Amino acid sequence: MTDVTTAPSAVSASTAAHIEATERCAAHNYHPLPVVLSEGEGAWVVDVDGKRYLDCLAGYSALNFGHSNERLVAVAREQLGHLTLTSRAFFNDRLSGFAQALTRLTGKDMILPMNSGAEAVETAIKVSRKWGYEVKGVPAGQASIITMEGNFHGRTTTIVSFSDDDVATSGYGPFTSGFRSVKYGDVSSVAAAIDDTTVAVLFEPIQGEGGVVMPPEGFLRDLRALCTERNVLMVADEIQSGLARSGRTFACDHEDVVPDIYILGKALGGGIYPVSAIAADRDVMDVITPGSHGSTFGGNPLAAAIGTEVVAMLEEGTFQARSAEIGGLLRAGFEPLIGRGLSDVRVRGAWAGIDIDPTLMSGREMSEALMVRGILAKDTHGSTVRFAPPLVASDDDIAGLVAAVAEILDAASRPA
């Protein structure tokens, strides 16, 4: 394999100092690329040495609207001057607007606001179980939830209990019981796993961490019909796939499917503040009663103000349209590279996963080579790299990404 300059031979003193201090004083739960970012605007970020990079990860879709989005920053600054936190022991004047806006966007009766995506997933699990006991009539302590192989819903103890990622699970047992894992995208496997104790099917319409993996066409429609028939809640984790990332408001919209519970996060806070929520109709959400669930920061005025503006931006439809346009550019650029260094390409809206011929390089090596060329991306599962540029990225930005990937693959394919 030809050397494709996968990483700089040295970093600046400033970069090295930041990295050394972080590695010394912060737990090593990530393995970052050796770049230290200090500024961001739109689709671009700048490191401490002044070098610009196209951000093709966008905070795992938290930055769908770009870095330092003017509308969101203005709303946050305005709210900072008034009220940021009251706790839910009191009402605040921003939560009502956020709740109305998000129920309007999702078409659901009620929301339950939290902070992180993992908290929202935990909330959906709790609501599903309580619904199962109080509404469906599952015997106490027996509720089961069906999950999918290859899933990623977060890293809390309960969530990793149904993960098949050895890195996420090793050393963290004993795990929470009550989950059954089935093949992703196989509705017959879901049907076979359902019994009288099943309260919900928890799934990602697109598995982002897995490398932008999509189920077969028709799976979401068939799953919706199955859940309705068997009186089981359909719970869609749209934390990464939702809020315009896939070219529609929700990834479930691609098959005109409405789940019983939406799980939302990341872009809901506009990349400014952690905001998450679940949305469901009253017959599901009414199982939550005072004291049975809560969050000190969930639904706080600052979060609610930002979330309300995010919904307003999404209701205009321009970000969904732009996401679809970016998807067309990514598909047109990457698909011709299949057989020329790539073995597979998956694109849905402004979200792409590419599988690299492992004899050429790993996904980490591709990410390092892109970093040298001023593009930031993230590898996953060995030889896969995923791209999720902010939806404000220009046509030229996307063309530069595609050209850089092609250049790296061509260099790697040339005889040494």
Pairing of strands 233-237, 261-264: parallel
- Over residues 76-96, the mean pLDDT reads 97
Q: How many whole angstroms separate alpha carbon 346 and alpha carbon 321?
A: 19
Q: For residue 375, what are the β-bridge partners?
A: 54
Dihedral (C-alpha) 133, 122, 89, 271: value to the nearest 10 degrees?
-150
Q: Give 291-331 as a DSSP string.
A: TSS--SSTT-HHHHHHHHHHHHHHHT-HHHHHHHHHHHHHH
Looking up tokens 């969050």 gives 295
pLDDT of residue 9: 58
User: What's the CATH fold of domain 13-62+319-413?
Assistant: Aspartate Aminotransferase, domain 1 (3.90.1150)
| Interatomic CA distance for residues 93 and 368, integer angstroms | 46
**Residues 385/367, Cβ–Cβ less than 8 Å:** yes
Pick the CATH number of 70-316 from 3.90.1150.10, 3.40.1280.10, 3.40.980.10, 3.40.640.10: 3.40.640.10
Condensed to tens digits (0 to 9), the pLDDT of residues 187-221 reads 999 999 999 999 999 999 999 999 999 999 999 99
**C-alpha separations of 314 from 71, 137, 143, 296 in Å:** 12, 38, 36, 27
pLDDT tens-digit profile of 7-49?
455 899 999 999 999 999 999 999 999 999 999 999 999 999 9
Q: What is the pLDDT of residue 415?
A: 83
pTM (2 d.p.): 0.97
What is the distance in angstroms between the CA of the first residue and the CA of the last residue of the chain? 6
- The pLDDT value recorded for residue 4 is 53
Relative to beta strand 44-47, strand 52-55 is antiparallel
- Backbone φ and ψ for 292, nearest 5 degrees, come out as -80, -15
Nearest to 264 by CA among 272, 254, 274: 274
Give the residue-averaged pLDDT of 271-300: 98
For the beta carbon of residue 160, count every other beta carbon within 10 angstroms: 22
Residue 316 identity (one-letter amino acid): E
> Please, how many CA atoms are within 13 Å of residue 242, restricted to the half-sphere of its CB?
30
Average pLDDT, the chain: 96
pLDDT surpasses 90 at 347 = yes
Identical fold for domains 13-62+319-413 and 70-316, yes or no, is: no
**pLDDT over 80 at 160, yes or no:** yes
Domain extent listing, the chain: 13-62+319-413, 70-316
Res 75 pLDDT > 90: yes
Q: Looking at the annotation, which residues are catalytic? A: 152, 237, 266
Q: What is the pLDDT of residue 1?
A: 44
- Rounded to whole angstroms, the Cα distance separating 252 from 227 reads 15
